[in-house]
Structure 1
Amino acid sequence: MPATTSAAPSGTHSGTKSRKKKGRRARLLVIVLVLALVAGVGYGTYWGISTVRASFPQTTGEIKVSGLSGAVDVKRDAYGIPQIYADTDEDLFRAQGYVQAQDRFYEMDVRRHMTSGRLSEMFGSSQVKTDSFLRTLGWRRVAQKEYDTKLSPSTKKYLRAYAAGVNAYLKGKDGKQISVEYAALGLTNDYKPEKWTPVDSVAWLKAMAWDLRGNMQDEIDRSLMTSRLTGKQIDDLYPAYPTSRNKPIVQQGGISPVTGTFDPEATPTGSLGGTTNTTNTASDAVSGMQSQLSSLSDSLDEIPSLLGPSGSGIGSNSWVVAGKYTTTGKPLLANDPHLAPQLPSIWYQMGLHCRTVSSTCHYDVAGYTFSGMPGVVIGHNQNIAWGFTNLGADVTDLYLEKVTDTGYLYDGREKPFTTRKETIKVAGGKSKTIVVRETNNGPLVSDRDTELAKVGETAPVTAAAPDRGNGYAVALKWTALQPGNAMDAVFELDRAKDWTGFRAAAKDFDVPSQNMIYADTQGNIGYQAPGTIPVRAKGDDGTMPAPGWDSAYAWKKDPIPFDQLPYEYNPERGYIVTANQAVIDAKKYPYLLTEDWGYGTRSQRITALITQKTKDGGKISTEDMQKMQMDNSSEIAKLLTPYLLKLNIKDPDVRDAQKLLESWEYNQDSDSAAAAYFNAVWRNVLKLAFGNKLPKELRAKGDCLNVPPADKSTVPADEQNKLVRECGQRSADSAQPDGGDRWFEVVRNLLDKPDSDWWKAPRTRLDPATHNRDELLARAMKDARWELTAKLGKDMDTWSWGRLHQLMLTNQTLGTDGPGILQWMLNRGPYNLSGGEAAVDATGWNAAGGYDVIWVPSMRMVVNLADPDKSRWINLTGASGHAYSAHYTDQTEKWANGELLKWSFSKAAVDSSTVDTLVLKP
């Protein structure tokens, strides 16, 4: 998003002169700011101190904070990670708000403007389209309803205390005293931060839910495929989950016929669903609407993803091992959520401690928090530990609506829209007012795009569609657009003492739906699937947009009851692994959770690592858990490499590259030439086998970035433009798979079908057509050889996976669209990384766009339930959001190397690791 905006035209000659003077003055101020920042980096001069360090937090001494009832200690270790000690709950969360604002307020401010659809107030007219879409979804309105009607009195009290702490920090400060980004931002639009509110915190949960919403993109993509592929071919590209090979999370149990609740010991029951078969009608309803659905896909891309890019491949790992298999005799729990790399990291490490746990102060908890939201999201307290991965439940449906100017059709009758006006204020420009229309299936997201506004006008009349009239619109039904209790769940988790308390908290964790793993100091382990998950009519699998005019497609009134959701408690096998695989065998569970799971590549690898270690009486240590998190073995390479090595390659240069794979053990280390070559082969296999067969609407995103990483600065501008033009043509002509583990499964199923049509690729100017598997694989090996020659050089001794597979840490606003010199100063990298797509060390890349890292294990933790002080943790960046703070990226190198930091929890351990103490006083 842009960092700055220009003043709106005034229409007068004198106004033009004034703007030119302002523009020159703004440019001069940018130069002064940059020089001051540079001085801060290199020399610590007066200018550097006054400009850069003005916003650094005070971490020692005393500060008076209004509203506190007693003194609060803030103890920071050598990495700037704070541990807060207080005597009341309200003091604890007031201090949390103050401290997080010290380190991260700019990040918090941008985030709340995003969740409320107010980015244009900060960044100008370029954000109006995004704001319009976000206002249509109405995250902030739903958050307000949650606060007003759903949240408990204690949660509201904590939210108010947190907001008061943030505002105590802001009081009397101007922008440049808060963060250097405000100094740059204020040059053109004079933006001023406003006070924090409790609803600002609640709205963040809606952004979480959006990024983890499930299969909406797959729903659109399948619909687009119908223009070019048969049903059988689409099934080829969305294969069934391999339950027999990649075990689901919950491996036994079902709905008890006696109690009607889920019981891990029960025999699975039959179907509880409806009776109407809807699938064929849903498929008919999207006929002829591919261009409009493609526009919807593009519109969805306009919404910033705070947690990570959508699509297959992104996910998280968590697993817990019971004491009978650990060196400590108590459980060990690991978690590493895979999210978008950001600077600062999405996570903020912190401890929240009552000096004495009592009826007036309930918390003794530490872990990972979100800046802008009170409590700890993932971590442990004195009794239990927990972790999250995305469950991936299908909680969204797109409905095609038959509309007129005034209403929409439902069961043969026209119903009026529910409408509201939203005014979007624009920095440096005129405000814009939009009208949001809603049906009983949700807001019309198609209203936000001129193409979408015409959706369905050219769609053929089918048995599924009524007379067209003014056409169709697209509505979004999503569980997160109903008020819920997820904020209550955060505090309930933080103070839970046992399995019963943990499950009670899980019951309130309605959105986003997450896999929740558990361990306690008594030696118990467990898993719970929570969330508000809709019940659809039988036969409606949620994989295609549905006709909203037919009540047969409506969700049932009530979602899946919490007591019928799958769980495990102390399973006999002694471990639980969640890595976005299927929760339970769909044939043994009566409700549809989703048809679009991750395909279990990571979960099965983690399971294999656990069982290999524990066979013959072996025990797992904290260090073993850490090593498992860094496992970078390529499962697709294990499958595909034997086929590549059997090929009779005649070209000596390609044959030399083939030899790299002969002794390779499938590890994707950053210095591995074999890993670089194999991943290039894999990418070219996907291009050749599928790229020319998919609809052009599924075009590749990001392929224009595929300039050799080491040479970007030296590529002439005219050549860069040529690359961009060529990329745009490639993207328009074909689509490219992203290469996630769904594609692993697709290719696995085709390898024993060497004459499948999928292996056929057309001829080019340089290459003949391919007619079978071996011909296509050989051509992919040749293309990969010359691609890497262009990127890394002809000498294979200089090749390495890390030179291709690089991470750039980017400030999420000025670091993406600010002045180039400012981007250079706020961003960090590149880092050459090990790991890869669907590896346990999931440094993900999208084969459609190149090899750069686009999602990462955003943090890693291993909790030792025998002795919490022997637990370990790491963050992607650091505690601070201030560029040039010592704690801006002081954990990144260790993170990249797979190291973990000591995680102090007890008072004695925290005191031992403390280097700075700040006392907040009433």
Structure 2
Amino acid sequence: MKFMRQWPWPLRWGVRALALVMVVVLVATGWFVWTVRKAFPTYDGQIKMPGLVGEVTVHRDSYGIPQIYADSPEDLFRAQGYVTAQDRFWEMDFRRHITAGRLSELFGEATLDTDKVTRTLGWRKTAEAELPLLEPETRQLLEAYAAGVNTWLKDNPDTAQQSLEYSVLGFQRTGYRPEEWTAVDSVAWLKAMAWDLRSNIEEELGRAIADAKLPTERVDQLYPGYDFRRMPTIVTGGEVTDGSFTGGGTRAKTDDAAQAPARALTSVLEAIRVMPDDLGNGDAELGSNSWVISGERSTTGKPLLANDPHLSAQMPSVWYQTGLHCRTVTDACPYDVTGFTFSGLPGVVIGHNHKVAWGFTNLAPDVSDLYLEKTTATTAEYKGVQEPLQIRTEKIEVAGGKPVELTVRATRHGPIISDVMSDAEAAAPGGEAVALRWTALDPGKTADAIFQMNRATDWTTFRAAASSFEVPAQNLVYADVEGNIGYQSPGRIPIRTEGDGTRPVPGWDGVHEWDGFLPFEELPTVLNPDSGYIVTANNAVIGDSYEPLLTKDWAYGYRAQRIDDLVRNGGRLDAAAMGEIQMDGRQGFAPILVPHLLRLGAGVKGIELLRTWDYSQPVDSAPAAFFNAVWRQLLLRTFNDELPEGARPDGGDRWFEVVRTLLDRPADPYWDDAATANATEQRDDILLRALREASAELVERLGADPSGWRWGELHTLTLTNESFGTSGITPIEKIFNRGPIEVGGGKSVVNAAGWDAQEGYEVKTVPSLRLVADLADLDASRYINLTGSSGHAFSPYYWDQTKLWARGDTIPWPFTAKAVEKSAEHTLTFKP
């Protein structure tokens, strides 16, 4: 480089410095690429797997989705464990630390509060107690799955080979090595999903918090009953066509609960909110849509089944797709099933086999109660007697710090969760405490139900499987290749001796107890209804003639009514039409509110957008942007001045009903702004204020021309990695997070991309998957996942389905061996 000597020395040194920087960057880039790719799985070739009896074949399609073929159930599920670990082991390891209350072993003090809540609830202990209750076959297959995971761990002993997250973790916590997988690790994740879908704890808590500030009758305005005259139920009538239940039993009486201590309730609310966002944290939009139509309503002459569960958005998706096939289906090897499961859990949770298809939505019965307790340090009052508390000490290991000891206290009703965020006396001065009674804290047999559903062949065997599905209680829709469609409510649902579960109750009086659970035979069910279709969308299951109390906190039927209308009036539907319904974004409350806004909004920039709006909410809709901004401002201005945190509106369909009633009461006290002491506002004052403030907000954020406003610019989804996605370190977040992407739909609509009015328009909950099963030709079924099959950042399968998902596109779902082999792009063989 003689020519450099002719340059001036500052330039020469500048070039040398630049060259050095480039070398460092190239080395760092090379190291990063090497580290990333080191964790990518082997999808082709042969791998020896100890414990196999026969050879197992794994085909993967262009989306990296595995379809596994074996000759015995043990081989099949052993291979499923290995294959799932290939794609998602970090996620599995992270999740078991959540369910065991051991996150602080990885992340230090930052996750200590989360561990305290989980240890107090005792998810891991419940899972350990469940394992011996399961059928021997279930335990055997759980162990086979765990053995497959552990074989993968032995084949990949270096954590850098396992996932990029372990390399990042190494900067904070050195020397960590994951433990072997166990059957309890799999079962424990069902507790996390039960927490995600935990019914009405937040509603019960919200009522109690609001009660401390407002009269009961005003609080009750915020929790209107389900309108059985306007909105549909899943099952009609007190008797069902097959006579499976009679609607017997006794409805619990509404009861005036004791005044709840505000400080203890606030501590409970804080405990709930420290749980990871991917566990939902009580978001009212957690729910789902599912519906099934008979062959009389389909173009194929056989049933079509659609399902899209609404869960917290996360990266990677909570769902993992897989197919599990016995090469020859026999009594000894009965599995031929494909669909969606959870990483770390064997079997298929939602999907179809060669005979039947099924989908889930959250039944959301009231399966939890908050009990107000009178306690000392070691006792709780019950019927005038001081009973000893159940007390245990939990030791929580903390990376980079000393272990922390947690004292967990429990009454006869359950763990005292008001203790968690502070010591017992600080949380409950004067002996006031709040305990949680929840069905998920009792050992059950839900894991049995998953395997039983996977091998069900008709309505009878499917219902038998459903009888074991205890927690979380779900609406199950069903279809089979013979042309039958059906619905079943499963779940462990308590019978209360007193009270209706809507507010915390005294734990000391012995009156408000659970007296067993509803028999499965009395839960609503229907087979082949005359309508030719069944719709479930978290709406009321059955009318108020049904005596047992399931809950008073249903979703309010806006999604269910829209789906019902589209199915009933849609003529004969095909799979594409079912998918179009899943993407429907019509705002069901807008026709009620918009006339009031047009009446008042003359001169407000943006108001003319609403005059010709069709109430749909695609990403490019200007009217949708304006309406949702008005709706948010209306809620904040109407309710935040009076309601304490924990009772304020999120904007979902309960608030549609609240405001619908208030619109007919222009002088209702809720319209008055408590912050303006010298004025008494009424309905039109607040509506006009909301219009003006929404208009000003959109001018500032989206520009002065309303025609250029776009809903998608406000309503964005950032896929956030559940472990490192909120680290606060921008480069690390960029490695694992993806987005933002623009999303259509909105709150409490069929395309339920939910947002929280208290926080903004960013998407929090989503249709986490979409599927349409075609019982005339299972190879013609369609699906889409929120992200992709892989949990490895930078894998081609990390988020390859996301843009398709956002557009409403779906992917072919090959099922038969011939179709799977034709679509295969990778083939891996496991040999004994």
Aligned match of 2:8: none
Output the CA distance in 2 between the equivalents of 1:131 and 1:563. Answer: 38
Matched letter for residue 397 of structure 1: D
Count of residue correspondences: 810
Residues 642 and 674 in structure 2, CA contact (< 8 A), matched pair in contact too: no
Aligned match of 1:521: 481
2:652 maps to which of 719, 722, 740: 740
Matched letter for residue 746 of structure 2: G
1:646 maps to which of 592, 595, 599: 599
- 1:450 Cα offset (Å): 2.2
Residues 445 and 476 in structure 1, CA contact (< 8 A), matched pair in contact too: yes
List alignment gaps of at least 5 residues for structure 1. 1-30, 40-45, 255-261, 458-469, 699-734
Aligned match of 2:15: none
Residues 318 and 578 in structure 1, CA contact (< 8 A), matched pair in contact too: yes
Residues 392 and 407 in structure 2, CA contact (< 8 A), matched pair in contact too: yes
Aligned match of 1:249: 234
Output the CA distance in 2 between the equivalents of 1:294 and 1:423. Answer: 25
Output the CA distance in 1 between the equivalents of 2:105 and 2:455. Answer: 38
2:640 maps to which of 683, 691, 699: 691
Residues 423 and 434 in structure 1, CA contact (< 8 A), matched pair in contact too: yes
Residues 241 and 529 in structure 2, CA contact (< 8 A), matched pair in contact too: no
Matched letter for residue 586 of structure 2: S
List alignment gaps of at least 5 residues for structure 2. 1-20
Q: How does 1:308-347 map to 2 (within 5 A)?
A: 308-347=280-319
Residues 156 and 822 (structure 1), Cα distance of their counterparts in 2 relative to 1, 3 Å cut: same
Encode CA deviations 1:64-89: one digit per residue, 9 max, x unaligned. 11111111101000000110000110
Aligned match of 2:445: 485
Output the CA distance in 1 between the equivalents of 2:427 and 2:65. Answer: 51
Matched letter for residue 575 of structure 2: T
Encode CA deviations 1:693-751: one digit per residue, 9 max, x unaligned. 213x43xxxxxxxxxxxxxxxxxxxxxxxxxxxxxxxxxxxx74100000001111122
1:372 aligns with 2:329: no
Q: How does 1:479-558 map to 2 (within 5 A)?
A: 479-538=439-498, 540-556=499-515, 558=516
Encode CA deviations 1:759-784: one digit per residue, 9 max, x unaligned. 2235779xx95632222211111010
- 1:311 Cα offset (Å): 3.2
Aligned match of 1:566: 524
Residues 826 and 266 (structure 1), Cα distance of their counterparts in 2 relative to 1, 3 Å cut: closer
1:592 aligns with 2:549: yes
Aligned match of 1:712: none
Residues 581 and 600 in structure 1, CA contact (< 8 A), matched pair in contact too: yes
SS in 1 for 2:534: strand
1:679 aligns with 2:679: no
Residues 339 and 856 in structure 1, CA contact (< 8 A), matched pair in contact too: yes
SS in 2 for 1:807: strand
Output the CA distance in 1 between the equivalents of 2:523 and 2:71. Answer: 38
Aligned match of 2:368: 396
Matched letter for residue 434 of structure 1: L
Matched letter for residue 193 of structure 1: P
Q: How does 1:328-477 map to 2 (within 5 A)?
A: 328-450=300-422, 453-455=425-427, 457=429, 470-477=430-437
Output the CA distance in 1 between the equivalents of 2:247 and 2:139. Answer: 41
Encode CA deviations 1:311-356: one digit per residue, 9 max, x unaligned. 3232100000111010000110000000111111000111000000
Residues 233 and 450 (structure 1), Cα distance of their counterparts in 2 relative to 1, 3 Å cut: same
Residues 546 and 625 (structure 1), Cα distance of their counterparts in 2 relative to 1, 3 Å cut: same
SS in 1 for 2:59: strand
Residues 770 and 776 in structure 1, CA contact (< 8 A), matched pair in contact too: no
1:601 maps to which of 547, 550, 558: 558
Output the CA distance in 2 between the equivalents of 1:212 and 1:584. Answer: 20
SS in 1 for 2:549: coil
SS in 1 for 2:280: coil
1:621 aligns with 2:570: no
Q: How does 1:105-184 map to 2 (within 5 A)?
A: 105-148=89-132, 150-171=133-154, 172-184=156-168
Residues 230 and 35 (structure 1), Cα distance of their counterparts in 2 relative to 1, 3 Å cut: farther
Residues 188 and 266 (structure 1), Cα distance of their counterparts in 2 relative to 1, 3 Å cut: closer
Q: How does 1:191-340 map to 2 (within 5 A)?
A: 191-254=176-239, 272-273=250-251, 279-280=255-256, 282=257, 284-286=258-260, 289-340=261-312
Residues 736 and 847 in structure 1, CA contact (< 8 A), matched pair in contact too: no
Residues 541 and 326 (structure 1), Cα distance of their counterparts in 2 relative to 1, 3 Å cut: same
The TM-score with structure 2 as length reference comes to 0.95
Matched letter for residue 448 of structure 2: D
Residues 309 and 361 in structure 2, CA contact (< 8 A), matched pair in contact too: yes
Residues 913 and 243 (structure 1), Cα distance of their counterparts in 2 relative to 1, 3 Å cut: same
SS in 2 for 1:329: coil
Aligned match of 1:719: none
- 1:265 Cα offset (Å): 5.4
| Larger displacement relative to structure 2 (636-645 or 671-680) | 636-645
Matched letter for residue 507 of structure 2: G
Aligned match of 2:18: none
Output the CA distance in 1 between the equivalents of 2:385 and 2:28. Answer: 66
The TM-score with structure 1 as length reference comes to 0.85
Encode CA deviations 1:655-693: one digit per residue, 9 max, x unaligned. x41001111111101001110000000111111111112
Residues 819 and 536 (structure 1), Cα distance of their counterparts in 2 relative to 1, 3 Å cut: same
Residues 267 and 420 in structure 2, CA contact (< 8 A), matched pair in contact too: no
Output the CA distance in 2 between the equivalents of 1:676 and 1:238. Answer: 27
Residues 278 and 313 in structure 2, CA contact (< 8 A), matched pair in contact too: no
Output the CA distance in 1 between the equivalents of 2:277 and 2:655. Answer: 23
Residues 36 and 48 in structure 1, CA contact (< 8 A), matched pair in contact too: no
- 1:309 Cα offset (Å): 3.8
Encode CA deviations 1:838-860: one digit per residue, 9 max, x unaligned. 11000101111100000000000
Residues 565 and 268 (structure 1), Cα distance of their counterparts in 2 relative to 1, 3 Å cut: closer
Encode CA deviations 1:766-825: one digit per residue, 9 max, x unaligned. xx9563222221111101000111211222233100000000001111111152111112
Output the CA distance in 1 between the equivalents of 2:424 and 2:290. Answer: 40
